[in-house]
Structure 1
């Protein structure tokens, strides 16, 4: 019900953007022809570019749920993220058309101007259009009058949520509580106790009941449901178990039964796993067969000049489902004594030779891990793998740490893009890193992988201070 309204609003938002993209293209083209005289209508391949723009708008539908649960007040950071992904897709499609057709007639200045103007328009629409559509589509006669049934204590707990749903066309008329309850202060009208349910529904024109309590009585719940059916009200039943957990419960329906889980894992889908694997191979194959054959002899020569030993450093790490595998890196340290492997690298670590410092700072030492990606032991994007000994220690410090093993480890990850890389010096640092790792697992999408890859390239070019 609420989810249908939310997704419906975002779908309308997407339809508007599908229309805006070609209209803006045509408007700027008209300016280029009529005002500047630098374009000619017959030089533009209108059908192909229009198809590309509409296709871009269709792909954008995958991003709108990232705007967040609030329609009325959008999170600026989320809007930036969605808009960046939209422009990335738009650039990819437009330049694919230009290069595939060898289009020399289209003005590069025009395309650049279109992309800049589109970014500004998309950001503005993502920021404000959902709330405007909500007011227009779900306002007036479409507003649902909601009556809350439960205790004042339970109502106070979800007070913020009740007010936030007003943007979806829900108006809370008041609360009916239990006659044997000691009332608490709530910020919605208290209309009496549940004995007045049918009377209140008729007086207030209620067409939606939000049931917060079951009183552990099947008969009592049946009375509420019968009243809702007979008075023509829809009913929304609150899940009270959520307060016992630190995470929101996600319902899973399987056959006639409904279960709850603590987190959603998109990579449990075989289709999503296949897409992620194809993306991994698309990146790993060129690196392993084109870049590594050039890099290996160059690295070997520099290593021989500063620190004799093997070109590769191999170490046991734990990955998907805690399976152990051999991780490959370019050696950046002097050959070490046995038993010294578990010590984390520190800033100005004397074990690291000079060229090794450069490779560590620029992450070039990680390139051989594309071999692990090719073998299926790792992914390009995912939680960074650690030594089994470190896994045991970190699990003691942060209890949810082992949940990182729900997916394959990666060369880079969301935590690294947020600045959490290098030595783990305290528990709070570890906790924040795990937080971002689990956020990645719970919210994975192919677009998130692409964004993390692009941000990682930027970090390789301009390494953060934690890179050592």
Structure 2
């Protein structure tokens, strides 16, 4: 829908300006509730600028919080706004800690977040309703026809009718040999020879061509007609016989290339962003957290049982390349390290049980992240024995090794952690790992990290 690109760009700019205005209003309201005055002090005016700048940065990561069109459901839009506020709070909290802005009122900050979230959320609901009213009005209609009456044509019509696109109105099918028993037969307006005259008489804006692509002369004829008549001509190729799922198409110079699955981390900018975050986050943990907890954990491990503080084990990483994975030792020294831990496992020490329950045993893996063997977020690296076993039984098991393994992952925060004695549990874990690979985003990583921290605080029943 490239013809609407200007609409979406303007839409994002207007919504960003609206959001900043509502945030400024939220600051005023919060200042009144906190200090009884609408006028803010100099430090809070500066802080408002910082708050607004971070919201602008978040808009870069969460592009779709600045869309109110019908391509996304209202639930998805509100979820994007909530996720954006979570990311914003994370960035702002980091800034407060780094620059030692302890004099800022925590209560004022809480009021600001609550009021800003309510104002922006309400504005999205109102704008969404206005957009739906606009798209259903005659002012917005973009008239289109579909050439062909096959399955691709029907699927295209179903897709358009299922979305609140910016004013699309279906005007009919055109086909030389339509199926009289087809459900769409009564919507056929004529044969291909009738198409041009119909388009001119009914002010058609778009033509969607769904017939086989072997009639090059006819396609060129319609292309020239559309160009001369200021009509957008779209070709919708039928790949249903080739793939049975959503595909991605991109161009390398003039060569169209189809990818049968989404692969966000194939793109270099995404990989660079993820790696930069991994380095920054792992350094922060190693420099700020590790020096505090390491002496305590090391002492407790040594006092309870003989053996090293750290446990090293070969694990399969990206593309099944083995690497040394580091953990705090949670078991008594034994020769059964390739056996998965089970409930009430006699090998697990008391200190080890606590470390596993809180995931503190994974802290040394931030050194793996720094070395590039692991990522903060990604599919968890399984045992070598699990790789050999499950790769023969689960068809998509090896797919999870397309990306760098992580300290935490989408499967783990979704409840699929711990022992996998039931094959279905491992299948679900693989399913969530593949979903992560195909839907990766920076915001998704941040969400998984927050859920991991929350699970560490409350404890997990499957962590043993």
TM range (shorter): 0.7 to 0.9
Q: 1:334: which partner in 2? A: 332
CA distance in 2, matches of 1:58, 1:188: 50
* SS of residue in 2 equivalent to 1:240: coil
Q: What is the 5 A alignment of 1:17-416?
A: 17-26=16-25, 29=28, 32=31, 38-39=36-37, 41=39, 43-45=41-43, 48-59=46-57, 60-65=59-64, 71=70, 74=73, 76=75, 79-89=78-88, 92-93=91-92, 96=95, 100=99, 104=103, 108-127=106-125, 129-130=127-128, 132-133=130-131, 135-136=133-134, 140-179=138-177, 181-186=179-184, 189-214=187-212, 216-242=214-240, 244-337=242-335, 340-416=336-412
> 2:199, 2:456 → 1: CA distance?
62
SS in 2 for 1:411: strand
2:305 and 2:93 mapped to 1: Cα distance?
A: 49
1:417–1:42 Cα change, 3 Å: closer
**8 Å contact from structure 1 (residues 329, 367) kept in 2:** yes
Quote the Cα distance in structure 2 between the aligned partners of 1:115 and 1:351. 47
- Aligned counterparts of 1:61 and 1:4: Cα–Cα separation in 2: 22
- Kept after mapping to 1: 8 A contact 2:174/2:189: yes
Q: Identify unmatched segments of 5+ residues in structure 2.
A: none
CA 1:16 to 1:397, structure 2 compared with 1: closer, same or farther past 3 Å? same
- Comparing 8-17 with 321-330, greater Cα deviation is found at 8-17
Give the deviation of 1:369 after TM superposition. 1.0
SS at match of 2:462: coil
2:331–2:348 contact (8 Å) kept in structure 1: yes
Deviates more, 1:322-331 or 1:39-48: 39-48
**Shift of the alpha carbon at 1:24?**
4.5
CA distances 1:400-459 after superposition (whole Å, capped 9, x unpaired): 222222221110012212112112233433333223222322333333222221211111
Question: Mean alpha-carbon deviation: is it higher for 363-372 or for 400-409?
Answer: 400-409
The answer to which of 366-375 and 173-182 deviates more is 173-182
Asked if 2 retains the 8 angstrom alpha-carbon contact of 1:415 and 1:436, the reply is: yes
TM-score normalized by the length of structure 2: 0.87
- TM-score scaled to structure 1, two decimals? 0.86
Separation in 1, partners of 2:42, 2:148 = 63
> Does the 8 Å CA contact 1:266/1:442 hold for their aligned counterparts?
yes
Name the CA shift for 1:432/1:238 in 2 (closer, same or farther; >3 Å).
farther
CA contact 1:32–1:38 (8 Å) conserved in 2: yes
Give the Cα separation in 1 of the matches to 2:196 and 2:281.
63
* Residues 174 and 195 in structure 2, CA contact (< 8 A), matched pair in contact too: yes
The aligned length equals 463
- Farther off after superposition, 59-68 or 400-409: 59-68
What's the Cα RMSD here? 3.3
- 1:432 maps to 2:428: yes
Matching residue of 1:441: 437
State the SS of the aligned residue for 1:247: coil
Partner SS state of residue 4, structure 2: helix
SS of the equivalent of 2:327 reads strand
SS of match in other structure, 2:82: helix
